[in-house]
Amino acid sequence: MSVRINASELITQATSILRRNDQTGYTAPSPRLYPHQWNWDSAFAAIGWAHLDWNRAVREIDTLLSAQWIDGFLPHIRYNPAVGEGYHPGPEWWPNVPVRNPGEQTSGISQPPVLPTAIYLVGMMQPDVDARRTWWARLLTPLRDMILCYLRTRTVNGSPLIAVVHPWESGADNSPRWDFATGRGFKPSRAYRRTDTQVVAATQRPTERDYGLYMYLVELIAGHRYDFRQYLEMTPFAVYDALFNAIWFRAAVDLNRIALALGESPVVSAEILSGFKDAFHRFLWNQSAQLFRDFDVKAAGQIPVDTVAGLGAIYGGLVDQAKAESMFAGYLARCRGFKLLPSTLPDEPQFEADRYWRGPVWVPINWLVVRGLQDLGLTSHAAALADETVSLVLRSGWFEYFHPHTGEGLGGRDFSWTAALVVDLLRRPVS
């Protein structure tokens, strides 16, 4: 079919996007809109690079890890000082970040921890087993520090689930899941200036109300020196995000695989993993929706909005094959005939077809679900979704996200994770 015929042309296009977005050592997600290095974007970029230039994938990961903090925390942005004022908020909003490498400038929040899984996959793409093991051995300590840091610093009341403290940490910034907090009208004490709406139409971006909360939380978090326990009482936003937690679980499992290959003991014990899985089901499963939901830690209740984050458990390996299949079928049944996984279900009242995380389709999310379905043996569903995803990009171009009804490309152009993950879907086909 058309996708197969065009595979080599698509890979050529994707390669030239990745090369153009290469900022000497890291891949900017889309240089005008997001000129710095982002955490989960770089993990996805590395997976794409590994097919094209394995050493470049290694470099991507090294630059990302150079932003690591003393306690192992891996921030969501590593700033490139050469960029100047092209992105808001800049590093001046995140003073005194406790970085390992003096001179690094970072944000003070994190992002979904795809990185350990990316390192596992990139390693598996290195046919020289000695080279793979040497590389993994070099990364084991920073990865261990990173994955355990979340358990140490972001858990509450004895639950192992990880609390996300800013919508940007979820990676799905203006998801309607977070409207309970944005609706409260928070604003920062200082004026801020948006750069995003100079590049992308405001109708496709978060609103001023969303940014009010974002910047309020930046001030709150930085004002308490990034110590969750210090601001937990006063923050309006601490959630167990179903996607973030599923990604953490998969990362822990993949990190244990790396440790095993090196003859080391598991980084996260079987006991912790099983407690985490129990808590994930206990707190986040919603029986009537037949989907996982997020949990508001402050209000001690689930957030009643169904989004694609609820399918994250498939990627995480937190459900068995039968449950994954019924969750996936249930999601599609609510998509009104569209097979491309809108980020918010169209039957939710806050659904907006072209506004960022409130409806559009995102390639990295589809990729997570494809790989999860595949790992659970749901090969035909995985292959169909992979095919739909690649066809969408073939039809519409290398955009940041896509209209779930028309397939029109939206947001940033020539987007790195779209390019990298299409390369991976084509070069590592499902069947």
Would you count residue 178 as binding ligand 9WN (CB under 6 A)?
no
Per DSSP, the residues of 63-75 read HHHTT-BTTS---
Cβ–Cβ under 8 Å, residues 427 and 8: no
With CA atoms as reference, report the closest residue to 27 among 43, 10, 8, 42: 42
Residue whose beta carbon is closest to ligand 9WN: 29
Task: Compute the least distance from the CB of residue 137 to ligand 9WN, in Å.
Answer: 29
Contacts of 20 (CB under 8 A, 6+ apart): 31, 414
Task: Compute the least distance from the CB of residue 114 to ligand 9WN, in Å.
Answer: 10
Per DSSP, the residues of 405-428 read TT--EESSSS-HHHHHHHHHHHHS
Nearer to ligand 9WN, 54 or 356 (CB): 356
Q: Please tell me the distance from the alpha carbon of residue 81 to that of residue 200, in angstroms, as a whole number.
A: 23
Helix axes 54-65, 129-153, angle to 10 degrees: 30
Nearer to ligand 9WN, 75 or 123 (CB): 75
CA angle 21, 25, 29 (to 5 degrees): 35
Tokens of 186: 């928070």
Would you count residue 91 as binding ligand 9WN (CB under 6 A)?
no
**Residue 361 DSSP class:** B
Task: Compute the least distance from the CB of residue 168 to ligand 9WN, in Å.
Answer: 4
Would you count residue 173 as binding ligand 9WN (CB under 6 A)?
yes
Task: Compute the least distance from the CB of residue 415 to ligand 9WN, in Å.
Answer: 7
**Which spans in 228-338 are helix H?**
228-231, 242-261, 270-284, 312-316, 321-333
Q: Please tell me the distance from the alpha carbon of residue 107 to that of residue 163, in angstroms, as a whole number.
A: 17
Instruction: Please confirm, yes or no, whether 173 is among the known catalytic residues.
Output: yes
Number of residues that bind ligand 9WN (CB under 6 A): 10
Q: To the nearest 5 percent, what fractions of the chain are helix, strand and coil?
A: 50, 5, 40
Q: Please tell me the distance from the alpha carbon of residue 203 to that of residue 194, in angstroms, as a whole number.
A: 14
Nearer to ligand 9WN, 38 or 295 (CB): 38
Footprint of ligand 9WN on residues 292-331 (CB under 6 A)?
A: none
Cβ–Cβ under 8 Å, residues 296 and 307: no
Print the binding letters for residues 1-30 with ligand 9WN: x by CB under 6 A, - otherwise: ----------------------------x-
Task: Compute the least distance from the CB of residue 111 to ligand 9WN, in Å.
Answer: 6
Cβ–Cβ under 8 Å, residues 415 and 398: yes
Task: Compute the least distance from the CB of residue 171 to ligand 9WN, in Å.
Answer: 4
Active-site residue (options: 145, 400, 414, 424)? 400
Query: Of 48, 171, 359, 409, which lies in the binding site for ligand 9WN, with binding defined by CB under 6 A?
Result: 171
How far from 118 is each of 48, 61, 86, 103, 426, CA to CA, in Å? 10, 9, 28, 26, 17
Task: Compute the least distance from the CB of residue 387 to ligand 9WN, in Å.
Answer: 24
Q: Please tell me the distance from the alpha carbon of residue 242 to that of residue 287, in angstroms, as a whole number.
A: 15
Bridge partner residues of 30 (DSSP): 34
Tokens of 269: 């014990």
Question: Of the listed pieces 132-140, 152-160, 167-175, 271-279, which binds ligand 9WN according to CB under 6 A?
Answer: 167-175
Footprint of ligand 9WN on residues 27-46 (CB under 6 A)?
A: 29, 34, 38, 40-41
Task: Compute the least distance from the CB of residue 40 to ligand 9WN, in Å.
Answer: 6
Active-site residue (options: 169, 173, 196, 241)? 173
Instruction: Please confirm, yes or no, whether 306 is among the known catalytic residues.
Output: no
Print the binding letters for residues 67-86 with ligand 9WN: x by CB under 6 A, - otherwise: ---------x----------
Nearer to ligand 9WN, 216 or 285 (CB): 216
Nearer to ligand 9WN, 29 or 91 (CB): 29
Question: Of the listed pieces 3-11, 64-72, 166-174, 290-298, which binds ligand 9WN according to CB under 6 A?
Answer: 166-174
Print the binding letters for residues 179-198 with ligand 9WN: x by CB under 6 A, - otherwise: -----------------x--
Any idea which residues carry the catalytic annotation? 173, 400
- Residues in touch with ligand 9WN (CB under 6 A): 29, 34, 38, 40-41, 76, 168, 171, 173, 196
